[in-house]
Structure formats: structure tokens, C-alpha cells
């Protein structure tokens, strides 16, 4: 009988599910991207349920922001580092040489893939128990009902409060291999000569980085 896996605390009936979850696209055709897709949905469901039960008086906005804080790329990468996941990844030589096993996007994707692997092997309850163990330190650290809004929301609300037009986000560059792309996004204000740039491993995250940079410029102008 297979041993209990130290990362998941789960004894896999089908160890190949975990092997695939730990395999990056650069290593071959049997990689973890499909598991990542499923794991993302499971993670959002489990985090939402946990917050719903933990914060009985929080409104939808606070719950949504808290869930976003728990499942964002950097938070999942921190989970992966606590689990010492990087050294267990299987990836192509080029990706390994470029430090892919330390990259936030790769680590976060692998966490999601492992969630799917446990679900496929043992069902939802086992999957939820594992995810809650992983998320507990982060859930406990959240300020109840007062999770900070993301940068795009804060920028939009700031501009609306000043009766100014909303920002425009434009993808200006995409570089890198298919499995390790870097997106560059420009945030511009139509009524001011202000432009801010953001870069990240996904377009959505790059937009957030650009919004954060724009907020910093606006705050500096109004000091």
C-alpha cells in the first residue's frame, strides 16, 4: 500500500494523480494544467464556504475580498513554500534552470493541481480537509470584515469619488515561453497625463500591479 504523502497528508489510491499534479508543462504532455483548472474551482468553493461559516455577520463584499486574499497567486505561492513544494516539482531543464520551481505562478498552479489530485482520488471531504489545513494560518490572520480592497477597485472608487473617468488598461507586451509568460499592462487616465505600468505572470495580476502604481502616483500628487 502506498505511503502517506507528506505534502497532502493523504495516502493516494492512485499515486499517478499526485505525480501529474507535480509535473509542469515544460516536462512533457502529462502535465498538471487540467488539474489546475479543476483545483482552482475547488479552492474557491472551499475558501468561500470556510469564510461564510467563520464570518456569520460579514457582508458579500467583505467575503469576496477575503476569498480573493486567500486564493491570490502570491498567497498560494506562500502555501507552496511552507510545504517545501518547489524541490518536488518535475519540469523541463530550461524551466528548472530559469528558476521556475521558485516562481509564484508555477507554485500557485501546482497547489491548485494537488487540490484536484486529492479530490479525484478521495472525494470532496478529503480535499476540503486538506485545503482547510493549508489555509488555516491565512484565514486566522485575516482582519474580520475589513480585508483591504484590491488595487483596481480602490482606484475606481477613488476616481468615481472625484467624478473623474475610469482608467483604461492596455496590454502592451507579452514575453517569455508559453508556460512562463510575463504580461505588461499600462494603466492610463483619460483626463490627466498619468501612466503607470504593471508586470506579472497573468494579465489580471499585471492590471492590479498597474493600478497599484497609479494609486501611488495619485497619492503623491495629493500629499
Active centre residues (catalytic): 40, 112
CA–CA dist 85, 221 (Å, integer): 43
Report which secondary-structure segment, H or E, holds 185: strand 182-188
Dump the DSSP string for 24-89. -GGG-SS-SHHHHHHHHHHHHHHHHHHHHHH-TT--HHHHHHHHHHHHSHHHHHHHHHHTT-GGG-
**Joined grid coordinates for residue 125:** 471531504
**168, burial (CB in 10 Å: exposed 0-12, middle 13-18, buried 19+):** exposed
**Joined grid coordinates for residue 66:** 477575503
Determine how many CB atoms are found less than 10 A away from the CB of residue 38. Answer: 16
Question: What is the residue whose three cell numbers read 507528506?
Answer: 6
**Joined grid coordinates for residue 219:** 497619492
Amino acid at each position: 500500500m502506498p505511503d502517506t504523502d507528506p505534502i497532502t497528508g493523504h495516502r493516494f489510491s492512485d499515486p499517478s494523480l499526485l505525480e501529474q499534479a507535480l509535473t509542469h508543462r515544460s516536462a512533457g504532455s502529462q502535465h498538471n494544467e487540467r488539474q489546475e483548472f479543476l483545483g482552482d474551482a475547488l479552492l474557491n468553493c472551499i475558501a468561500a464556504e470556510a469564510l461564510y461559516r467563520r464570518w456569520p455577520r460579514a457582508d458579500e463584499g467583505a467575503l469576496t475580498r477575503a476569498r480573493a486574499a486567500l486564493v491570490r497567486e502570491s498567497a498560494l505561492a506562500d502555501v507552496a513554500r511552507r510545504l517545501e513544494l518547489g524541490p518536488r516539482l518535475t519540469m523541463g531543464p530550461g524551466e528548472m534552470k530559469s528558476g521556475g520551481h521558485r516562481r509564484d505562478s508555477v507554485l500557485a498552479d501546482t497547489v491548485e493541481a494537488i487540490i484536484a489530485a486529492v479530490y479525484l482520488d478521495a472525494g470532496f471531504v478529503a480535499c476540503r480537509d486538506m485545503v482547510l489545513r493549508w489555509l488555516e494560518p491565512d484565514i486566522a490572520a485575516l482582519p474580520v470584515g475589513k480585508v483591504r480592497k484590491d488595487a483596481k477597485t480602490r482606484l475606481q472608487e477613488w476616481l468615481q469619488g472625484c467624478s473623474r473617468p475610469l482608467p483604461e488598461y492596455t496590454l502592451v507586451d507579452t514575453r517569455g515561453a508559453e508556460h512562463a509568460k510575463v504580461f505588461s499592462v499600462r494603466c492610463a487616465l483619460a483626463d490627466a497625463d498619468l501612466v503607470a505600468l504593471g508586470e506579472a505572470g497573468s494579465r489580471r495580476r499585471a492590471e492590479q500591479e498597474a493600478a497599484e502604481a497609479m494609486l501611488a502616483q495619485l497619492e503623491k500628487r495629493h500629499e
